[in-house]
């Protein structure tokens, strides 16, 4: 029994309990993978179970690979016969053998996300669906959610009742399914749904797999959805040797369909289930765990467990509040540098975690300036992101038409029907005349063989020339807004229906904040804010290629990406209400959204092994405007004796005015609430987009009102159309004539 002596009492209890349902509540860092792999070994070596009667299900291929290796190392004979698989790959194997019983050919095609988009586009065309009202991404998401909840197209229609929007979605769902069937294709959700249908309708097939998989283990059980639960329940219903492992406190994937009730209500489905709590943590110090316990205790939807450790108490949690996000980033980088310079640790001992991808920009700039190597995990360096490169290319073209790379990058972005053939002809013409690409565009009608493309090229040049004229009259931030509005760049991102459109729009907002900060700095220093100056500053901090790409680097990542990882020293940045927890979760009517954010905070805290630092800023620039933020409610849930506020920068203390001259958090909240809930003439069902942020409330003006625009002057609102994330406003301007614009970008002021 020597193999199992290394396990603690609770881990051994979980390994030795092999018959009947078992729920292992495995707290963060409590060695759950060890328990699972030792349990497989115990079943084979001590209980004499055939390896091919054991099924272990994980969520990712990486986790499956790791478990496979560890089982192979533990078990000398027969381990290769254990099925270690993800849900989807297990279902594919089953369907390839038996899907004929559901009327499909066994050589079915599996549609990926791109195929799904193409198919949904065809369905929308066929049904004459207005994709401005019903976004393709929203429709795909609705169908996916229905499948995850095991709701058929027929049931979806019945549930829609008299709701027009839901009835149209039901039409789409039905047609989408019809097309899939006609193409002998399944999407990823179908792999699970069809396997459950197979088991529900073919008793002999179900019995075959029940006999095959007499012992079933499921990892990361808190991330399962309704269909996955049903699949596991059916497979385990004969022998009932089902072991599920998870941590309800780390359920952070509700947006992907995870149903936390699967783990919370496990004992309702299996009343005779044994529950083993793994509460001993091998990763973190006592103080870090006490903070994690104190925060997560505020959630109602959870199972009681308290992490503890033999690792000693360790340092207190460091709390640092700054005047601005700029100071916050400066502190984090200088603190890391100080640690490394003192020889305390290496760069890769440090991770900076944040709620949204856009927060990385300020940190990256500071790291580059301080010559600290870093790597963004699960993301792309801010200035290397497509949308940032595109918009900077517009600014560069306006500033300097000789930058051929920038001009070529945006000539057909967003798509304006200028094909590669036309671009190549322009390129050849420019090379033969030894002139720049943009110069060649300006004389596009002279280019041989350009044909019908000339009109589109000429309108692109007219657009750039229009921006150049504006650049002389307006500031950089306004120019940026003008470019976004007139090119329809954000609209084109939304129309792509890609999952990351929201994150890309957040990044554009962050670029606006960067521009506003630059203009503010120039004003403070009494220098002109020029487009060239801004682009020069960006070029200096965006030179990330020169970084030393050795393995020793600081890691930057979002909290969602950090799950499952651990680092000696962790910074949780941007701990402010409105940012983390997010504005949407704070204002949501039910508490579930906020509880999900709190679980995300718990995940962040438990990534730290030795030292944890919370940082926050009193004011932060968001979408180019200063927001005053209160310290996150999650910090306030931590007992004061577990934290050390420490000495914050001396210069920062001087900077912060006395509360009498500084807007308090309460005043700021009241001001923001007033802004958000202005009385509105035009009632809205949907939130209005204010530079990428969904803010509650409608417009402060309606049809027939007089309004003012920063560039076009005064005019009267002729029409307002709700367009998904924003309103399209038509205004008859006194001087500039009729203009159509998006409310979020137009910033119209009611007179």
Biggest alpha carbon–alpha carbon distance for the chain: 89
Partners of 748 in the beta sheet? none
Closest CA to 278 of 1, 608, 38, 79: 38
Establish whether 250 is a catalytic residue.
yes
Provide the 10 A C-beta neighbour count for residue 70. 19
Indicate which residue of 219, 323, 339, 364 is catalytic.
219
Which 8-state DSSP code applies to residue 641? G
Indicate which residue of 10, 32, 598, 633 is catalytic.
32
Which 8-state DSSP code applies to residue 143? H
The whole-angstrom separation of Cα 396 and Cα 483 is 12
Structure tokens at 279: 């509460």
Establish whether 32 is a catalytic residue.
yes
Our CA angle for 720, 725, 726, nearest 5°, is 30
The whole-angstrom separation of Cα 54 and Cα 49 is 8
Establish whether 566 is a catalytic residue.
no
The whole-angstrom separation of Cα 452 and Cα 456 is 8
The whole-angstrom separation of Cα 568 and Cα 613 is 11
Indicate which residue of 34, 137, 598, 607 is catalytic.
607
Partners of 688 in the beta sheet? 695
Closest CA to 613 of 279, 316, 268: 316
Whether 573 contacts 394, CB under 8 Å: no
Indicate which residue of 177, 220, 279, 399 is catalytic.
220
The whole-angstrom separation of Cα 350 and Cα 336 is 7
186-to-99, 110, 151 alpha-carbon distances in Å: 11, 5, 16
Establish whether 11 is a catalytic residue.
no
Whether 210 contacts 94, CB under 8 Å: no
Closest CA to 341 of 374, 372, 386: 372
Which 8-state DSSP code applies to residue 18? -
Q: At what angle do helices 325-341 and 360-369 cross, to 10 degrees?
A: 50
The whole-angstrom separation of Cα 213 and Cα 240 is 10
Q: Which H or E run includes 728?
A: strand 726-733
The whole-angstrom separation of Cα 206 and Cα 229 is 15
Closest CA to 702 of 686, 689, 675, 721: 721
Indicate which residue of 37, 169, 224, 250 is catalytic.
250
Report CA torsion sign: 602, 607, 608, 609: positive
Under 8 Å CB-to-CB from 433, ≥6 apart: which residues?
440
Structure tokens at 528: 């002109």
Establish whether 228 is a catalytic residue.
no
CA 69 to chain centre: 30
Establish whether 548 is a catalytic residue.
no
Indicate which residue of 33, 131, 202, 346 is catalytic.
33
Q: Give the number of C-alpha atoms closer than 13 A to the C-alpha of residue 315, restricted to the C-beta side.
A: 15
Q: Give the number of C-alpha atoms closer than 13 A to the C-alpha of residue 43, restricted to the C-beta side.
A: 31
The 3-state DSSP class for residue 435 equals: coil
* Active site residues per annotation: 32-33, 219-220, 250, 607
């Amino acid at each position: 029994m020597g193999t199992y002596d290394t396990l603690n009492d609770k881990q051994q209890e979980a390994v030795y309990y092999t018959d009947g349902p078992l729920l292992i509540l495995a707290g963060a860092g409590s060695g759950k993978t060890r328990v699972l792999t030792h349990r497989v070994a115990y079943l084979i070596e001590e209980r004499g179970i055939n390896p091919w009667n054991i099924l272990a299900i994980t969520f990712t291929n990486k986790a499956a690979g790791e478990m496979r290796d560890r089982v192979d190392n533990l078990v000398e004979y027969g381990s290769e016969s254990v099925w270690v698989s993800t849900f989807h790959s297990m279902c594919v194997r089953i369907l390839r053998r038996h899907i004929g019983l559901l009327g499909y050919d066994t050589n079915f095609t599996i549609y990926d996300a791109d195929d799904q988009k193409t198919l949904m586009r065809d369905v929308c065309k066929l049904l004459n669906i207005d994709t401005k009202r019903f976004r393709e991404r929203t429709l795909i998401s609705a169908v996916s959610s229905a499948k995850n909840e095991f709701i058929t197209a027929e049931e979806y229609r019945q549930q829609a009742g008299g709701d027009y929007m839901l009835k149209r979605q039901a039409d789409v769902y039905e047609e989408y399914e019809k097309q899939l069937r006609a193409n002998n294709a399944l999407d990823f959700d179908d792999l699970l749904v069809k396997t459950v249908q197979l088991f529900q309708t073919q008793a002999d097939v179900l019995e075959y797999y029940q006999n095959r998989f007499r012992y079933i283990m499921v990892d990361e059980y808190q991330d399962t959805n309704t269909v996955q639960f049903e699949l596991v329940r059916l497979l385990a219903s004969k022998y009932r040797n089902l072991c599920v492992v998870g941590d309800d406190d780390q359920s952070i994937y509700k947006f992907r369909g995870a149903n936390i009730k699967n783990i919370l209500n496990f004992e309702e489905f299996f009343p005779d289930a044994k529950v083993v709590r793994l509460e001993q943590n091998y990763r973190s110090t006592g103080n870090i765990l006490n903070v994690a316990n104190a925060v997560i205790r505020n959630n109602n939807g959870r199972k009681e467990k308290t992490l503890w450790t033999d690792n000693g108490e360790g340092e207190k949690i460091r709390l640092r509040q700054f005047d601005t996000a700029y100071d916050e980033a400066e502190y984090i980088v200088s603190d890391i540098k100080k640690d490394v310079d003192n020889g305390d640790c290496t760069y890769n001992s440090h991770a900076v975690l944040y709620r949204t991808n856009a927060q990385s920009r300020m940190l990256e700039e500071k790291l580059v300036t301080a010559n600290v190597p870093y790597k963004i995990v699960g993301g792309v360096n801010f200035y290397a992101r497509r949308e940032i490169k595109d918009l900077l290319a517009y600014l560069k073209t306006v500033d300097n038409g000789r930058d051929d790379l920038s001009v070529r990058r945006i000539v057909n972005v967003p798509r304006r029907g200028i094909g590669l053939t036309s671009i190549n002809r322009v390129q050849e013409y420019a090379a033969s005349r030894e002139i720049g690409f943009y110069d060649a565009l300006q004389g596009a009608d002279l280019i041989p063989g350009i044909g019908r493309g000339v009109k589109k090229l000429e309108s692109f040049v007219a657009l750039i020339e229009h921006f150049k004229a504006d650049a002389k009259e307006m500031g950089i931030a306004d120019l940026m807004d003008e470019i976004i509005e007139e090119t329809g760049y954000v609209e084109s991102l939304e129309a792509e229906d890609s999952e990351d459109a929201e994150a890309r729009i957040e990044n554009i907002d962050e670029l606006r904040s960067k521009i506003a900060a630059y203009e503010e700095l120039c004003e403070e220093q009494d220098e002109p804010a020029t487009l060239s100056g801004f682009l020069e500053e960006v070029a200096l901090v965006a030179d990330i290629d020169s970084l030393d790409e050795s393995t020793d680097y600081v890691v930057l990542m979002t909290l969602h990406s950090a799950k499952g990882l651990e680092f000696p020293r962790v910074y949780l940045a941007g701990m402010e209400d409105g940012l983390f927890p997010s504005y949407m979760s704070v204002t949501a009517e039910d508490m579930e959204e906020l509880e999900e954010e709190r679980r995300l905070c718990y995940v962040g805290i438990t990534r730290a092994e030795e030292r944890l630092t919370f940082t926050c800023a009193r004011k932060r620039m968001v979408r180019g405007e200063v927001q005053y933020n209160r310290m996150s409610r999650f910090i306030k849930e931590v007992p004061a004796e577990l934290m050390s506020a420490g000495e914050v920068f001396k210069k920062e203390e001087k900077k912060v005015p006395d509360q009498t001259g500084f807007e308090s958090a309460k005043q700021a909240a009241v001001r923001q609430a007033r802004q958000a809930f202005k009385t509105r003439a035009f009632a809205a069902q949907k939130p209005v987009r204010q530079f990428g942020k969904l803010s509650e409330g409608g417009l402060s003006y309606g049809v027939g009102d007089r309004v003012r625009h920063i560039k076009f002057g005064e005019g009267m609102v002729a029409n307002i159309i709700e367009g998904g994330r924003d309103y399209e406003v038509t205004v008859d301007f006194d001087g500039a004539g009729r203009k159509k614009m998006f409310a979020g970008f137009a910033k119209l002021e009611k007179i």
